[in-house]
Structure 1
Amino acid sequence: MGPTGVVAVRQWVAAIVLLVVGRPRLRAFTAAQWRPILALAIVFATMNLSLYLAIDRIGLGLAVTLEFLGPLAVAMASSRRRRDVLCALVAAAAVGVLTRPQPSTDYTGIGFALLAAVCWASYILLNRSVGARVPGLQDTAAAAAVSGLIYLPVGCVALWLNPPTLGMMMCALAAGVLSSAVPFLADLFALRRVPARFFGIFMSINPVFASMIGMLVLDQRLDVASWLAIITIVAANTVSASGPSRPHVQTVKK
């Protein structure tokens, strides 16, 4: 189906689920509320597509690790502690190792992953802004609905050019549920029950899981230096997040 086709189906499923759960009162939104919601919708649409395009070119582990730099940068930028500055420098050095020039380096794929990181950081900041203006899940549900509408023409063209089988379509639908709807709701429930710093530590394991799944399921191998860099980035986030409580930074994804 190609990355665009899969992302389109994923956006449609997320829009339907979040509309049912959030029940946004779209007609009641003011222009001041719609502006950040539309910005959030564009971030939604760009974030998922850029990540899938990155995965298609550079593999699951490297793509997810680079995308994780978005929330990591937001969390560290919100602090002025020396330890966080040191962690940021260590993480930056590890990124340098991950993106070091090699004969097989795909800079376009790295660019897509970094774009996904910027989108994730923007999502966090926009979510805080929109959340102050729109109650409950209405803001995210409305943004998901607009993002789903954006993908209607794009997705239809992608699926027409790459006609899916029933099995492919079922996998894409499962990706929409398991990659967007379920994690989003689980993150919300978790954030209401555990301290934000613990949530940040749990989130930091994503790059390691992605690298392991890429190796075990997709046969995507990373060299020793890349593994060490990924572990270093995870460790830097863990050290930063495990310190004294800081102002809450929401890192709920997608």
Structure 2
Amino acid sequence: MTASAASNQLGAAVGAHAFAAIGPAGVVAVRQFVAAAVLLPMARPNLRRFTRAQWWPTIALGLVFATMNLSLYMAIDRIGLGLAVTLEVLGPLGVALAGSRTRRDVLFVLVAAVGVYVLVLPGPSSDYLGVGLGLLAAGCWAAYILLNRLVGARLPGLQAPAVATAMSATLYVPVAVLLVLHGKLTGMAVLYAIGAGVFCSVVPYAVDVIALRRVPARLFGLAMSVHPVLAALAGLVVLGEELAPHHWAGILLVVTANALAVTCSKWSGSPTVAPEM
């Protein structure tokens, strides 16, 4: 599980190296192509047998993939990897606490809120657009979890994620075409984006399948709490992003709130596997 999380954040850091050449949308486009090329042969979905009840959540999942990845990468481009991923983790936290009315869970929400405030320290120089994009990614992750429960009950294996990823990749075809026409989809930028696809999609999927055979879903969800820490470390090592003490304090508070919420909540839905498709 730790290897999966580390691969995910390493891939995001590698992909960030291509932002200057092809932009966040270009990196997401290549990543989606890589993910679709891997998942479709694995799942081999029979589209002719899909019913309406199977199609609509799959289509919604595809739109979530497309929005989640772009918003996260745009947030990374503006506020850095560690901060963006910490804000994104609020999505699973919200799902874990949804519908809860206990004082304990209210405390977890307050801890997370304080963490976000300490992390951002709102002021004239704050990048509110970057923060907003990180929160949009969090909302998409929450939607992914809920849709994943639904399609998991209606379609076997990885059929729904495979089709949803292919749909998301199709939406990014115009981006790839424009980059090709402008001669930008070449060289190291493409290699960085492909690396992001391998580290963020291919490796986590393979590792997560193995991990989920050995650990409960709740423990897997708890492992998601390590993502912000690994993202901050990947940003430091790969991108040279140095975080201030208040950033680390905010990350610690959000991670603590998420870990406690997943551990103590009665939620027992599908694990939040592979968020960054």
**Corresponding residue for residue 80 of structure 2:** 59
Q: Does 1:28 align with 2:49?
A: yes
Q: How does 1:150-165 map to 2 (within 5 A)?
A: 150-161=171-182, 163-165=184-186
Gaps of 5+ in 1: none
The answer to whether the 8 A contact 2:176-2:185 is kept is no
The answer to whether the 8 A contact 2:72-2:84 is kept is yes
Q: CA deviation at 1:34?
A: 0.9
Q: Tell me the alpha carbon deviations over residues 113-168 of structure 1, each in whole angstroms, 9 at most, x when there is no partner.
A: 11111111001101111111111111111111111111111222144346133222
CA distance in structure 1 between the aligned counterparts of 2:202 and 2:96, rounded to whole angstroms: 24
CA distance in structure 2 between the aligned counterparts of 1:166 and 1:248, rounded to whole angstroms: 42
**Corresponding residue for residue 117 of structure 1:** 138
Q: Tell me the alpha carbon deviations over residues 204-250 of structure 1, each in whole angstroms, 9 at most, x when there is no partner.
A: 01101111221222121221112101011111222223337642342
Q: 2:92 aligns with which of 71, 78, 81?
A: 71
The answer to whether the 8 A contact 1:79-1:246 is kept is no
The answer to whether the 8 A contact 1:207-1:234 is kept is yes
Q: 1:189 aligns with which of 206, 210, 229?
A: 210
**Corresponding residue for residue 18 of structure 2:** none
Distance 1:53 1:29, change over 3 A: same
CA distance in structure 2 between the aligned counterparts of 1:130 and 1:7, rounded to whole angstroms: 23
**Corresponding residue for residue 89 of structure 1:** 110
Q: CA deviation at 1:3?
A: 0.8
Q: 1:166 aligns with which of 164, 174, 187?
A: 187
RMSD: 1.8
Q: What one-letter code is carried by the residue in structure 2 that aligns with 1:137?
A: L
The answer to whether the 8 A contact 1:60-1:210 is kept is yes
The answer to whether the 8 A contact 1:76-1:84 is kept is yes
TM-score where L is the length of structure 1: 0.93
What's the secondary structure of 1:90's corresponding residue?
helix
CA distance in structure 1 between the aligned counterparts of 2:183 and 2:224, rounded to whole angstroms: 34
Q: Does 1:216 align with 2:269?
A: no
Distance 1:87 1:159, change over 3 A: farther
**Corresponding residue for residue 48 of structure 1:** 69
Q: Does 1:146 align with 2:202?
A: no
Q: CA deviation at 1:78?
A: 5.6
Amino-acid identity (%):
56
Q: Tell me the alpha carbon deviations over residues 73-127 of structure 1, each in whole angstroms, 9 at most, x when there is no partner.
A: 1112265543232112111111122233234311111111111111110011011
Q: What one-letter code is carried by the residue in structure 1 that aligns with 2:115?
A: A
Q: Which region of structure 1 is more displaced relative to structure 2, 170-179 or 117-126?
A: 170-179
Q: What one-letter code is carried by the residue in structure 1 that aligns with 2:71?
A: S
The answer to whether the 8 A contact 2:96-2:265 is kept is no
Q: 1:3 aligns with which of 24, 29, 35?
A: 24
**Corresponding residue for residue 233 of structure 1:** 254
TM-score where L is the length of structure 2: 0.86
The answer to whether the 8 A contact 2:64-2:140 is kept is yes
Q: Which region of structure 1 is more displaced relative to structure 2, 220-229 or 13-22?
A: 220-229
